[in-house]
Amino acid sequence: MTSDSAAPIREPASDSAAPIREPASDSAAPIREPASDSAAPFTTLTLDVADGIATVRLDRPDQHNAIDVAMARDLSELATRLAEDPSVRVVLLLGNGPMLTAGGDVPMLAGAQQLPDVLRRMIDDYHLALERLTELDAPLVVGVRGAAAGGGLGLVGAADYVVAADDAVFTVGYAALGLTADGGNTWFLPRLIGMRRTQEMFLLNRRLTAAEALDWGLVNRTVPSADVDAEARVVAERLANGPTRAFGGMRTLLRQSFESGLRDQLADEKHLIVTASTTPDAREGIAAFAAKRRPSFRGEK
């Protein structure tokens, strides 16, 4: 997962791997409630939810927002909280400091006594975060200043809309470290930019400029660096006022389209559009269209 690092990852242990036994009797020790969110604050990122927008900022600016064990754990917890919060209608991901993320924390990895164990633990959490972020109904908007590198480039791949600084760079960097891949880069990049270009990035350590990333389809738009956060927020605000549950169905259909046969995809389109038709937003959208007025979506199921 590094700008510069990676390792194959095992799937996280199933929840069913260690069944919870029932207390022996009513007199058994009481079961404690899970700790509240306030008891476990994030240490490597910030989260603010307002007006349907969950604004997330990676917050290790002195380390170029490099992903370490703590950040991977925070991202996993973040994705869980977002999935459990029905008020979230869009996620806006930014970085504090001059860079979105340099990828994995190479100095930390260099000092690890048991590198395979550290990588496994870190990437377990990070990959779980990416999987959950892609499964949200809420779209993901990412603003890139400075660079998006290594495993951190997976956050760009998972996004639905990417605004990049016109001087930003994009790279995987694994070949320089003698490592392979993580962060979903071998899944996202061939789908976004094509296999041949992905092979060039991996095997030749090709670094993309913002202009190349735009031309190749990795990002949607480039703006001056000082405008990235504001422009990404404009997109997030527009999406926050959209039909959130329908967006979730769109995300699902688009993600699976490279694996599904036509018959299966047609069946899934039918199922999800029928499901969407039961939501208040569908009724509002159809009524607004018929009345020739702007719809007022609420994002409810």
Q: What is the CATH number of the domain that holds 256?
A: 1.10.12
Which of 199, 221, 240 is a domain's end point?
A: 240
Mapped onto helix, strand or coil, the DSSP state of residue 24 is coil
**Rounded distance, CA 28 to CA 20, Å?**
14
Same domain flag for 253 and 203: no
Domain total in the chain: 2
Q: Report if residue 1 sits inside a domain.
A: no
Print the domain residue range for 197. 41-240
The reported pLDDT for the residue numbered 88 is 98
Say which residues have a Cβ less than 8 Å from residue 242's Cβ, sequence separation at least 6: 89, 297, 299
Read off the pLDDT of each residue in 133-152 and give the average, rounded to a whole number.
Answer: 98
Read off the pLDDT of each residue in 76-97 and give the average, rounded to a whole number.
Answer: 97
Same domain flag for 150 and 95: yes
pLDDT tens for each residue of 241-261: 999 999 999 999 999 999 999
Same domain flag for 221 and 249: no
Same domain flag for 201 and 94: yes
Same domain flag for 92 and 234: yes
**Rounded distance, CA 226 to CA 230, Å?**
8
Closest C-alpha to 56, from 155, 187, 124: 155
Residue 20 pLDDT > 90 = no
pLDDT tens for each residue of 172-227: 999 999 999 999 999 999 999 999 999 999 999 999 999 999 999 999 999 999 99
Q: Report if residue 2 sits inside a domain.
A: no
Helix 69-84 and helix 115-135, axial crossing angle in degrees, nearest 10: 20
Whole-angstrom Cα Rg for the chain:
21
* Residue 149 backbone phi and psi in degrees, to 5: -135, 160
Q: Report if residue 26 sits inside a domain.
A: no
The reported pLDDT for the residue numbered 41 is 87
pTM for the full model? 0.85
**Rounded distance, CA 213 to CA 188, Å?**
14
Q: Report if residue 215 sits inside a domain.
A: yes
Please enumerate, as own/partner, the contacts of 291-295 that have beta carbons within 8 Å and a separation of 24 or more. Answer: none
38 pLDDT band (50/70/90 cuts)?
very low
**Rounded distance, CA 291 to CA 298, Å?**
18
Closest C-alpha to 73, from 128, 145, 9: 128
Alpha helices in the chain, H assignment, sequence order? 69-84, 106-110, 115-135, 153-158, 185-193, 195-203, 210-216, 228-240, 244-256, 262-276, 280-290
**Residue 116 belongs to a domain with what CATH number?**
3.90.226.10
| Tokens (6 digits) for 296 | 């007022």
